[in-house]
Chains A and B, each alone.
Chain A
Amino acid sequence: MDWRKLDPRMIAVHTSWLAPPAASFLMALWISGGHLDLRGWLTLSGITLGFLAFTAAGVASWAKTRYRLTADAVEVRTGMFTRKLRTVRLNRIRNVDLTASPVHRLFGLTTLRIGTAGSTDLGSEVKLDALAAPVARALRAELLARATHTAAEDPVVSTINPRWLRYAPLTFWIFGGMVLVLGVGYRALEAIGIEAWRLPVVRRLAVEFGSSALWWTIPLAFLASTLLGVLGALALYVEGWWRYRLEWVSDSLLRVRRGLLTTRSVSIERCRLFGAVLREPLLLRFGGGAKVNAVAAGLGTEQQDSERSAVLPPAPRAEALRVVAGVLREPVSPLEDLVLTAHPKVAHRRRIVRGLLLVTLPLLVVPGVLGYLLTDVLLHLAWSTALASVPFVLWFARDAYRNLGHGLSGRYLVARSGTISRDTAALRRADVLSWTFADTPFSRRAGVVTLTAAVATVVGGYHVRDMAEADSAGFAERAVPGILTEFLDTDGSGEQLPAELVHCGAGGPVGADGAR
């Protein structure tokens, strides 16, 4: 491959640095009514010059950067005055990460970072900022395709990268954390006999809060609690995942080590490892991140399992896919480039109905009944909150429906569902213990069924929710041939439930066919 340049649209991205000084210039002109004094001119031109230098440096680095892919390495040439050539051997590549800032996205660009084995600091990364999104994807695919033949053999699957900290705040804890902290504090004070509400400080705060201008103190309080939540999330992430290292210590033992103050170390035997789950909670999913849990037996109770089975903290999705591959010791992650079978449209309708029944109806009925008995205000509250909940219900239902899917990927059965947390499970087909088909009169009328694959973990079953009933038996049979073969009805005659059944109770023989 020849030397290639970065995408010319990067000039536009660098030029966007000029937006803040331009805006402040216009703002100043507008406020002063076009009459700027000398100091104003000097300040503004200072700012403008600074940003111009920034832009110029960016454009220059764009102009001087070249990259190429040789038979066994990636080479990147940079630098205006001191020319630099960095060479990354393909077999040293550990991950290839694609990110795009909002400005990049506006111009259809993507930044590509190449991480190498054995180094975690940011300086050792090779960065191409930026390529056209399809070019970046193609390059990443090519790099991974040529690099991963070693990934399955590399004993170190993943180690902590400080850059991942940006995913730490993407949890709902940043909203709940504050409440939790206050609750714990209140309980602690209560335990030593102090009622927090009676403390003079708290009362004064409450009174002042009540008498302040609520239209700005409430958002401010919200902002402050969110900020605290973010700090808390960062602290939790660092405490839980610092010095994180996931590696195969021997050919048959996978070990996770992590933690700053408390060091956790979990070892999982290969023979008890049945698969992996890619978990994408809502916020993390929007941020392009994911975490990974192992599906393994013998990790303790359900609560212990959820803690011990974590093999990757919130991290870039590409890294998560790579960790799935590493945990399963597959050259390519079974979740890479997935094409899942979508579920029938009726599953969407079922999700809408469920949302309306579980969210909108209680919002309408509970304050509605109270309002009918007590005061009209509650009646208005009832219909307005119920009405306001409808778009949310519709959005979540649509998201939940789009996330439904199932398929087979090599030796794995893949099932995806969930909206608050979209979970994609990859289970080794040979380790499926049992099949369960569950339905209700409603789902039968809709022609869907929930198929559960039992695996020998505490969680037990992994569900393929609301799949087409007509495809369910065929899918189960394809996924794990043999389990249900003898109970299948392949001539397509379908429902003949009562006719086929034979009364055999009350002293009748136990299954005459058992003698065969």
Chain B
Amino acid sequence: MTTSTAAAPRLRPPRYRVDPRARRWWTVQALLTVSGPAFLVALTMTTLSLLFFPGALRWLGPLLLGVLVLPGLAYLLIMPPWRYRVHAWELGSTAVYSASGWFWQRRRITPLTKVQTVDTVIGPIQRGFGLATVIVTTASTAGDVRISGLGLDDATELARRIGEAAAVEEA
């Protein structure tokens, strides 16, 4: 890596973390989409093998454990806290700034002048945790900002303020 000179400006992280409840939301999400199905498949195959091919369990067991159970468990345990450490947001005076992802992380800065719409989306699981996602769209899909895992009130307030700021900037 090149040595950074003292003068080279660095992008600092956004100032605010998302709601801590987002961790539980992501856990449930992981359970429903990735880990849960993996566990179910492993369980079904083990049961079938026990019932009909008891001999196969010797190699099927480790295989299922290595391919389905452990990765599923790892995803369930690692992803939510990791994601929580990464996700952050900030509304500046001229731009909205967000950090998202966990393994693949991205930080996106979109000027308020380029904002086209601001949506607040509450999914069925999110509703249970009192969370919401704010989606800021621009003329380019590569410019859209999603801030997920905000508290409901925070999200509404943020959406309102982005909308106002964008309208003011445009005028």
Contacts and interface: CB of A to CB of B under 8 A. Distances in A.
A259 interface: no
B44 interface: no
Nearest to B103: A440
A506 B17 CA distance: 11
Contact of A488 (B10, B14, B105): B10
Contact of B139 (A433, A441, A497): A433
Quick one: which of B6, B85, B143, B145 has the most chain A CB within 10 A? B143
A132 B37 CA distance: 69
Given A500-B13, A501-B15, A511-B16, A516 B93 contact: yes
Contacts of B4: 470, 492, 494
Q: How large is the interface on A (under 10, 10 to 19, 20 to 34, 35 or more residues)?
A: 35 or more
Contacts of B114: 433-434
Given A494-B10, A503-B17, A511-B16, A433 B95 contact: no
B154 A487 contact: no
A492 B6 contact: yes
A505 B18 contact: yes
A456 B139 contact: yes
Interface of chain B, main secondary structure: mixed
A439 B105 contact: yes
Nearest to B157: A510
A439 B151 CA distance: 27
Nearest to B155: A510
B12 A488 contact: yes
A440 B13 contact: no
B20 interface: yes
B10 A461 contact: no
A100 to B, nearest CB: 38
A494 B1 CA distance: 15
Contact of B20 (A447, A482, A506, A510): A506
B47 interface: no
A21 interface: no
Nearest to A344: B2
A182 interface: no
A509 B42 CA distance: 45
Nearest to A503: B17
A435 interface: yes
A469 B6 CA distance: 14
Contact of B90 (A441, A456, A511): A511
Contacts of A213: none
A461 B142 contact: yes
B143 A514 contact: no
B115 to A, nearest CB: 10
A510 B109 contact: no
B147 to A, nearest CB: 11
Interface in A437-478: 437-441, 446-448, 452, 454-458, 460-461, 468-474, 477
A436 interface: yes
Contacts of B39: none
A468 B1 contact: yes
A510 B12 contact: no
A507 interface: yes
A506 B143 contact: no
Contact of A505 (B1, B140, B150): B150
A436 B151 contact: no
A180 interface: no
Given A471-B8, A489-B12, A434 B158 contact: no
Contacts of A501: 13, 15-17, 88
A505 B151 contact: yes
B93 A483 contact: no
B9 A490 contact: yes
A452 B142 contact: yes
Contacts of B14: 487
B106 interface: yes
A492 B12 CA distance: 10
Quick one: which of B5, B97, B140, B141 has the most chain A CB within 10 A? B140
Q: Which 7 residue pairs of A and B lie closest in terms of their CB atoms, listed nearest first? A: A447-B1, A461-B142, A505-B19, A456-B139, A434-B143, A454-B143, A470-B4
Given A434-B142, A483-B94, A488-B10, 18 more contacts: A434-B143, A435-B109, A452-B142, A455-B140, A460-B141, A460-B142, A468-B1, A470-B10, A474-B9, A482-B94, A482-B111, A484-B95, A487-B14, A502-B17, A503-B20, A505-B18, A510-B153, A511-B15
15 contacts: A439-B104, A439-B106, A448-B1, A454-B141, A470-B3, A470-B4, A473-B8, A486-B94, A489-B11, A498-B85, A500-B12, A501-B13, A501-B15, A504-B16, A510-B153
Interface of B: 1-22, 85, 88, 90-95, 97, 103-111, 114, 138-143, 145, 150-151, 153-154, 157-158, 161
